Amino acid sequence: MAADRRLALHAILPDRYSDLEVLASTIDHLGRLVALVGDSACGYFPIPDRYWRYPPPRYDAIAVICSGSDVDEIRLNDLDLWFTEIDTLGDGVVLAANRCQPTGVSARRHLKPVPEGEIHLTENVRVFDSRSRTRAAFYAGDGIQQLMTDRRGRIWTSYSDESSYWSPNPDGTRSYAFMVGLARWDSGGGEPWMASGETREVAWLDCYAMNVGRDRVHACPYPDFSVVEIGTHHLQTVTPNTVTRCRGLAVAGSEFAFLDQRRTGDGTRWEICRARREEDVVVEAGRENLVLPDGRQPPGWARGRVGRDATLWLCADDERNWYRYDLDAHA
């Protein structure tokens, strides 16, 4: 049976925001808690079912950046999308809506290029500076699963199995494609680098986990769960992986920690599968059962799973409390 490993409490959203709804939350590359919070009095209300088909009423929100006891706020007014992802970028923040509104192009036309002027593409990534000014807004495709920024100011987006993207063509048309997988954007958008273009042997049906480290990015795509390593500018390696359950990832050299979640008779279990690269394949080396700092089992699924190098940050239901797992720490 796997031994218990207590998570460390890393950060808590301050009490002053306890009456506000958390729209999005993360831990940035400096280890700061970052959250987007909304108040029903300012037009925001909880995201409804099938929300991607309908724009929200215009609403105001606050981007909160917490560094210890220091808290900075960026007030964002008149938002028009259901923003579900956030991270810091420079002195500001970047937001993403993971689903796009319909494009206005019928499904039967998806097999052939469509003129740009006939497609409505939602700018579902927005960049704001510390003074609340919009610095960039661009279309990043439908089905974004996670958004993270790195220390160089680049934006990484991973995608679910429902993803799609209208790629631009030189003749002024766009072509429709599934299985986006993983993309990298500069701080102003522009044409993305897409992992699927350099990993033809990998089927990017779903990017189950992403780790955006200081110098490298690792990803674990479904259905093969290969560990894809990307360097400063382009692909480094694709390593076969015998671990086939992964919802979060920590990496330290040739050592890996894969997060698994499952329901049990007494609730929800978070488990780490420790693994290592041996002879060009990743193999399991042991397991740890994750518990909260007080020894309790987590109350539900991990809604937040942020991997950066050897650290994996996790949060449960409300995205207000973030816990930390360190791969290179002693169990």
Which pLDDT score, from 0 to 100, does residue 30 have? 97
294 is in which domain, residue-wise? 3-326
Higher pLDDT among residues 50 and 193, named by residue? 193
Residue 42, pLDDT above cutoff 80? no
Name 230's Cβ contacts closer than 8 Å, sequence gap at least 6. Answer: 184, 195, 216, 217, 218, 219, 236
Residue with tokens 């239901």: 317
Whole-number Å distance between alpha carbons of 179 and 223: 12
Give the count of domains, the chain.
1
Which is nearest to 81 in space by CA: 35, 34, 139? 139
Half-sphere exposure of 53 (CA within 13 A, CB side): 3
Tokens (6 digits) for 123: 């700018």
Which pLDDT score, from 0 to 100, does residue 35 have? 97
Whole-number Å distance between alpha carbons of 243 and 129: 40
Residue 44, pLDDT above cutoff 80? no
Which pLDDT score, from 0 to 100, does residue 259 have? 97
Residue 293, pLDDT above cutoff 60? yes
Residue with tokens 């650290």: 311
What is the per-residue DSSP string for 124-172?
A: -EEEE-TTS-EEEEE---EEEEEEEE-TTS-EEEEEEEEEEEEEE-TTS
Residue 47, pLDDT above cutoff 80? no
Residue 300, pLDDT above cutoff 80? yes
The mean of the pLDDT values for the chain is: 92
Which is nearest to 105 in space by CA: 95, 92, 118? 118
Q: What is the pLDDT of residues 90-101, one digit of tens each?
A: 999 999 999 888
Q: Is residue 178 part of a domain?
A: yes
Q: What is the mean pLDDT of residues 59-78?
A: 95
Say how far residue 232 (Cα) sits from the centre of its chain: 19
- Residue count of the chain: 331
Q: Is residue 37 part of a domain?
A: yes
Which is nearest to 106 in space by CA: 123, 124, 119? 119
Given a contact cutoff of 8 angstroms between Cβ atoms, the answer to whether 6 and 321 are in contact is no
Which pLDDT score, from 0 to 100, does residue 328 have? 83
Is the pTM of the predicted complex or chain greater than 0.85?
Answer: yes
Query: How many C-beta atoms lie closer than 10 Å to residue 11's C-beta?
Result: 22
Give the chain's end-to-end CA distance (angstroms, integer): 15
Which is nearest to 10 in space by CA: 312, 300, 255, 330? 312
Q: Is residue 331 part of a domain?
A: no
Q: What is the pLDDT of residues 105-162, one digit of tens each?
A: 999 999 999 999 999 999 999 999 999 999 999 999 999 999 999 999 999 999 999 9
Residue 331, pLDDT above cutoff 50? no
Say how far residue 91 (Cα) sits from the centre of its chain: 20
Given a contact cutoff of 8 angstroms between Cβ atoms, the answer to whether 151 and 217 are in contact is no
CA 18 → CA 173, 207, 321, distances in Å?
Answer: 47, 32, 12
Given a contact cutoff of 8 angstroms between Cβ atoms, the answer to whether 260 and 284 are in contact is no
Torsion of CA 66, 71, 72, 74, to 10 degrees: 80
Which pLDDT score, from 0 to 100, does residue 101 have? 81
Residue 248, pLDDT above cutoff 50? yes
Given a contact cutoff of 8 angstroms between Cβ atoms, the answer to whether 81 and 122 are in contact is yes
CATH number, domain of 32, equals 2.120.10
Whole-number Å distance between alpha carbons of 50 and 205: 21
Q: Is residue 146 part of a domain?
A: yes
Q: What is the mean pLDDT of residues 276-286?
A: 95
Whole-number Å distance between alpha carbons of 113 and 104: 14
